[in-house]
Structure 1
Amino acid sequence: MGEISLTAWLVTIGLIVGLLALDLVLAALRPHRVGFREAVFWSVFYIGVAVAFGVVLAMWAGPQFGTEYFAGYIVEKSLSVDNLFVFVIIMTTFAVPEEHQHKVLTFGIILALIMRAVFILLGATLISLFSFMFLIFGALLIWTAVQLFRHRDEDPDIQDNGLVKLTRRVLPVTDRYDDGRLVTRLDGRRAVTPLFIVLVAIGSTDLLFALDSIPAVFGVTDEPFIVFTANAFALLGLRALYFLVHGLLDRLVYLSTGLSIILAFIGVKLILHWAHVDIDPRVPEIPTEVSLIVIVVVLVVTTVASLVKVRRDPTARAHAGSLRSHHEEEAGAERRR
């Protein structure tokens, strides 16, 4: 595999920033309810851009880079669908008007990209300095997988979000959206609107998802360029995908189960890699091609099983999953009191 030049980094970042700017301008200049046709167009567009980038990368840097990119992209895309569950919960909880939802999503994607860039830089630095970070990342993913599987039938409590509570405690908050403004006036004083609280909720959620997604993608590649681009292109189409599958998300009843299996698999892969490098080179490693096949198979089986389940039981509904149960959170809050 070849080295990624500074020029390649700058061109790629320029492309991503350009696509983000396009999303932001469209959201700011023309607030409206995003229809099915528009959502399909932009979803196909962003998936096409991501696939085209992967093909160009494979032709330019070699097939190994291409394979690692597509494996990382599929991992991040599957995790981003779970992210959409939480976005739906946030939008519903705060009753965000439809004409402002795509603006919220665009800002949420920008926040997610910034946080992931920071974690990628930190993760790459730690891995280059300490090979045992593969063991730590692997253990973190396995713990996350176990917790997600245990609480797969729950949704996170957005109202109980610590940052949301703190914001409401220290800032005056209005009860109206005021044409999508973040700050308005209440009784002659400056106050934040519910849209500001929504962005705080989405930002803190993005932080939690970054803690899972970055170790996960490092499980299929240790090249920072691929980690960054896989994350960026998976997130870029999130806004359009939200409006496309908004009504279908609750049918993916086994998505959290499938994601927990994928996270556990990647966690084992990272631990085997650490053992191969630091303990004994005879310890087998899982090739990226095998990882790609396993991830795709799990996602396909999860989707088909979900649709079959819903067809047999129309009352079945999917959940985003949670790393802690509400009972544990309530018990922890009680102890703090």
Structure 2
Amino acid sequence: MGAPTWVWLVTVVAILGLLGFDYVFHVRKAHTPTLKESATWSAIYVAIALLFGVGVLVIGGGAMGGEYFAGYITEKALSVDNLFVFLIIMTSFRVPREDQQKVLLFGITFSLIARTGFIFVGAALINTFAWVFYLFGLILLMTAGNMLKPDDDSHGENFVVRLARRLFHVSEHYDGDKLFTVEDGKRILTPMLLVMVAIGGTDILFALDSIPAIFGLTQNVYIVFTATAFSLLGLRQLYFLLDGLLDRLIYLSYGLAAILAFIGVKLILHALHENNIPFINDGEAVHVVEISTGLSLSVILGVLVVTIVASLFSKRGRAQNAIANARRHAAAYLDSEYTADPAERERIHNALLAERDIIVSLGPKYLQLAREETPLMELLERALASHTAAVDRGEATPAGPPKILREE
């Protein structure tokens, strides 16, 4: 199992303690975390993960430490990709801003449980059947190929959610963070329960990709579990920290596809080295080059750095990010159920103005791209008109001079 029983017990208790701390002190009272709060706690969780890795490095040696860091970085990168889908789900379900933390924490908890189950199943299969390395390698290569396909936003409602809507009466409106509410004397579901089902369902799909990926870097079950767990802890804070930047990482999917394809090849090479399948080389091991943990870690870090830097410096990425965020913030501002906090509404409006200014500053090419987004233009005008009306009523502060997106 990769570690003594007492080490497992201490680790599991510590991880459950961190989750419990989040439930008690962060999401018990619904609120929207500030940028400072998100940054502070994201840094704390990353620091905990890195300190744990240093401990593994000191106690377990360089090879074990390298496997942990390679696994942690890979799983963390994949978890950022997961945030894109979480954003789509919560936008499509119109989850109130103050309640999004609780939804995310539920998703993280469910994901940790699901992935733990997959880890032990995967470890049992690997220990029993060497051919599983071939299967995991093919899964990663197929996943890498799927990541290169055009994005689709069909993650909002999966089969279970559609089935629940058909079988049960679901309220049209949220009742705080409650899963059930009472309408006309009847106890019915709220959309909050459906959101959690959607998050849980997508978490299972993510686990089918991420667990083979980390088993491609290490077969030490303890390292697989801890790297996965620490990559998930702090994901809630990271969501709010990266809010508004997710769409800007336009090349991240290409980078993750390259990493998964690399690990898939690594797994297949390892499978050939351990081969016992009769129709491959008469059941004998195939002498091939195996990729070291050090090389794996270097490739993973290198690919992530290149893709993130390229995304941040891309004008197209800035335009795509600004347009997507402007659409999302305008819709949120006009949705009376999205937030009841005046400060949060002001933050959304200021973000909307900043996104409008970015689009204008990028020049005629990207300004024209925004102008061609007719639903976006209508949303912007309605949101800004709504804010102007709020200013006239004394409920909001005036904005600066407008920059025009529509052609005069």
Name the CA distance, whole Å, in 1 between partners of 2:113 and 2:13. Answer: 15
Matched, 1:316 2:317: no
* Match of residue 218, structure 1, among 192, 215, 228: 215
Shift of 1:317: 4.2
Aligned residue for 1:316, secondary structure, equals helix
User: Is the 1:54–1:69 contact (alpha carbons within 8 Å) kept by the matching residues of 2?
Assistant: yes
Q: Which residue of 2 aligns with 1:204?
A: 201
Q: Which runs of 5+ in 2 are unaligned?
A: 276-283, 325-408
* Match of residue 293, structure 1, among 287, 295, 298: 298
User: Is the 1:138–1:268 contact (alpha carbons within 8 Å) kept by the matching residues of 2?
Assistant: yes
Matched, 1:192 2:189: yes
Q: Which residue of 1 aligns with 2:230?
A: 233
Shift of 1:6: 0.2
Name the CA distance, whole Å, in 2 between partners of 1:3 and 1:205. Answer: 29
Q: Which runs of 5+ in 1 are unaligned?
A: 320-337
Name the CA distance, whole Å, in 2 between partners of 1:205 and 1:312. Answer: 29
Shift of 1:104: 0.6
Amino acid at match of 1:46: Y
Aligned residue for 2:182, secondary structure, equals strand
Q: Which residue of 2 aligns with 1:274?
A: 271
Aligned residue for 1:158, secondary structure, equals coil
Matched, 1:134 2:138: no
Q: Which residue of 2 aligns with 1:63?
A: 62
Matched, 1:26 2:25: yes
TM-score, length basis structure 1? 0.90
Q: Which residue of 1 aligns with 2:5?
A: 6
* Match of residue 260, structure 1, among 251, 257, 262: 257
Amino acid at match of 1:300: V
When structure 1 is superposed on structure 2, of 89-98 and 232-241 the one drifting more is 89-98
Name the CA distance, whole Å, in 1 between partners of 2:91 and 2:188. Answer: 22
Shift of 1:159: 3.7
Map of 1:165-184 to 2, 5 A cutoff? 165-184=162-181
- Alignment RMSD: 1.6
Count of residue correspondences: 315
Q: Which residue of 2 aligns with 1:283?
A: 288
Shift of 1:189: 1.6
Shift of 1:180: 0.8
Q: Which residue of 1 aligns with 2:385?
A: none
What per-residue deviation string (whole Å, max 9, x for no partner) do you get for residues 201-231 of structure 1? 1000101000000000001000111111111
Name the CA distance, whole Å, in 1 between partners of 2:77 and 2:45. Answer: 15
Name the CA distance, whole Å, in 2 between partners of 1:276 and 1:132. Answer: 11
User: Is the 1:159–1:165 contact (alpha carbons within 8 Å) kept by the matching residues of 2?
Assistant: no
User: Is the 1:27–1:106 contact (alpha carbons within 8 Å) kept by the matching residues of 2?
Assistant: no
User: Is the 2:2–2:220 contact (alpha carbons within 8 Å) kept by the matching residues of 1?
Assistant: no
Compared with structure 1, are the counterparts of its residues 109 and 3 closer, same or farther at alpha carbon in structure 2 (3 Å cutoff)? closer
Name the CA distance, whole Å, in 1 between partners of 2:166 and 2:2. Answer: 49
When structure 1 is superposed on structure 2, of 71-80 and 51-60 the one drifting more is 51-60
Larger RCO (alpha carbons 8 Å, 6+ apart) = 1
Amino acid at match of 1:231: T
Shift of 1:281: 5.1
Aligned residue for 1:29, secondary structure, equals coil
User: Is the 2:88–2:156 contact (alpha carbons within 8 Å) kept by the matching residues of 1?
Assistant: no
Q: Which residue of 2 aligns with 1:305?
A: 310
Structure number, greater radius of gyration: 2
Shift of 1:307: 1.4
Map of 1:245-256 to 2, 5 A cutoff? 245-256=242-253
Name the CA distance, whole Å, in 2 between partners of 1:6 and 1:82. Answer: 33
What per-residue deviation string (whole Å, max 9, x for no partner) do you get for residues 271-295 of structure 1? 0000011143521100011000000
Amino acid at match of 1:168: R
Aligned residue for 2:313, secondary structure, equals helix
User: Is the 2:274–2:285 contact (alpha carbons within 8 Å) kept by the matching residues of 1?
Assistant: yes
Amino acid at match of 2:80: V
User: Is the 1:148–1:260 contact (alpha carbons within 8 Å) kept by the matching residues of 2?
Assistant: yes
What per-residue deviation string (whole Å, max 9, x for no partner) do you get for residues 214-266 of structure 1? 00000100011111111100000100000000111111000111111111110
Name the CA distance, whole Å, in 2 between partners of 1:28 and 1:308. Answer: 35
Name the CA distance, whole Å, in 2 between partners of 1:312 and 1:259. Answer: 19
Name the CA distance, whole Å, in 1 between partners of 2:2 and 2:157. Answer: 45
